[in-house]
């Protein structure tokens, strides 16, 4: 006769054993797959012409929070910017007169006009930056212009773009320095130096009615950039001063005057684009009228003589 107690014990299943050996083999195989996949990916990336960088450089403290994101526009605060970082490029998207008035140190000039596309040459330079470079767009305090520029650049395939939160004003509020450029002002013309070329900033109707002999017409327009063909012609001129004039008197401080004076606006466009020998003629053009039948070539221009202001500096200099 079977003992019922023993029979009940035999019915209880034995506790399951953990298959340690099988688990170790599975983890070993998984680790081998991960290692082999990583090696293959790194080898493939190294063979690519434009492989991804192994390290991601940041122009701000790595232990700080990431750049703020607001409405899908990546923002970065002024406190995190470090001008001079080789992995950072600052781009000023304001117009020329604002750029000359004060921009972050080393900022590139890429103006965002209301009715024109971005400068293709500057965009090409941005595309040629090394992988991993951060591009920070700076504008006015409202950042709307910088956001428009960011959208346009993203559409051209650029990445790593950020907008400076609060614009240039936010940088100034931290007490950090700005770079600015003043344009010499010539009070009146006299003599006939052959190393100067006049640039007429008036509109087409005024230029056609009469202009200084040999003047090149480059009308002021705050909605459009200067014509590239004219800029190319001016770049071919070497060792000759470009003297910009208009049909109205120049204000005492043209760099602070708004609306922008036509002569100062055109001169600022030239200086911001790298023209170094640029001056403004304060005296407006009043005649004698010399009608023109076509674009002037700049040959045989009338001369001007620079006179210092009362403080000994060129008139209009900050």
Q: Is the omega angle on the peptide bond into residue 224 within 30 degrees of 0, that is, cis?
A: no
What are the pLDDT tens digits along the chain (318 aa)? 555 555 555 555 666 677 888 888 888 989 999 999 888 888 877 776 655 666 555 554 444 444 444 457 899 999 999 888 999 999 999 999 999 999 999 999 999 998 899 999 999 999 999 988 999 999 998 889 999 999 999 999 999 999 999 999 999 999 999 999 999 999 887 655 677 899 999 999 999 999 998 899 999 999 999 999 999 999 998 778 999 999 999 999 998 888 999 999 999 999 999 998 999 999 999 876 555 554 444 443 333 334 433 333 333 333
pLDDT value of residue 177: 95
What token pair was written down for 92? 């000023």
| Exposure b/e, 215-241, CB count within 10 A at least 16 = b | bbbbbbbeeebbeeebbeebeeeeeeb
> pTM of the predicted model, to two decimals?
0.71
The per-residue pLDDT for 42 is: 84
| Nearest one of 95, 127, 92 to 107, comparing CA atoms | 92
- Contact at 8 Å (CB) between 233 and 200? no
Please report the domains of the chain, with CATH numbers, ordered by start residue.
69-173 (3.40.250.10), 185-281 (3.40.250.10)
Best CA proximity match to 230, nearest among 195, 273, 185, 290: 273
At 55 the pLDDT is 56
Q: Largest Cα–Cα distance in the chain? A: 139
Distance, in Å, from the CA atom of 202 to the CA atom of 121, rounded to the nearest integer, reads 27
Structure tokens at 278: 């640029």
């Amino acid at each position: 006769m079977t003992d019922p107690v023993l029979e009940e014990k035999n019915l209880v299943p034995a506790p399951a054993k953990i298959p340690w050996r099988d688990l170790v083999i599975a983890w070993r195989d998984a680790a081998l797959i991960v290692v082999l996949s990583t090696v293959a990916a790194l080898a493939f990336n190294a063979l690519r012409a434009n492989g991804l960088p192994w390290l991601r450089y940041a122009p701000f403290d790595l232990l700080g929070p990431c750049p703020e994101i607001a409405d899908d526009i990546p923002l970065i605060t002024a406190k995190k910017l470090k001008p001079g970082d080789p992995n950072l490029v600052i781009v000023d998207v304001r117009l020329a007169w604002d750029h000359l008035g004060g921009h972050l140190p080393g900022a590139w000039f890429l103006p965002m006009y209301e009715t024109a596309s971005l400068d293709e040459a500057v965009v090409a330079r941005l595309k040629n930056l090394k992988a991993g470079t951060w591009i920070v767009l700076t504008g006015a305090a409202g950042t709307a212009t910088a956001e428009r520029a960011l959208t346009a650049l993203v559409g051209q395939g650029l990445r790593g773009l950020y907008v400076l939160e609060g614009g240039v004003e936010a940088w100034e509020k931290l007490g950090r320095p700005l770079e600015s450029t003043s344009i010499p002002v010539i009070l009146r013309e006299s003599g006939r130096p052959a190393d100067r070329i006049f640039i007429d900033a008036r509109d087409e109707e005024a230029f056609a009615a009469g202009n200084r002999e040999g003047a090149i017409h480059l009308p002021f327009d705050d909605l459009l950039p200067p014509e590239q063909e004219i800029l190319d012609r001016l770049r071919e001129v070497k060792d000759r001063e470009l003297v910009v004039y208009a049909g109205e008197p120049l204000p005492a401080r043209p760099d602070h005057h708004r609306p922008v004076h036509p002569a100062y606006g055109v001169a600022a466009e030239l200086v911001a684009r790298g023209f170094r020998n640029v001056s403004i003629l304060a005296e407006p053009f009043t005649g004698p009228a010399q009608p023109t039948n076509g674009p002037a070539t700049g040959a045989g221009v009338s001369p001007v003589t620079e006179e210092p202001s009362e403080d000994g500096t060129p008139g209009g200099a900050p």
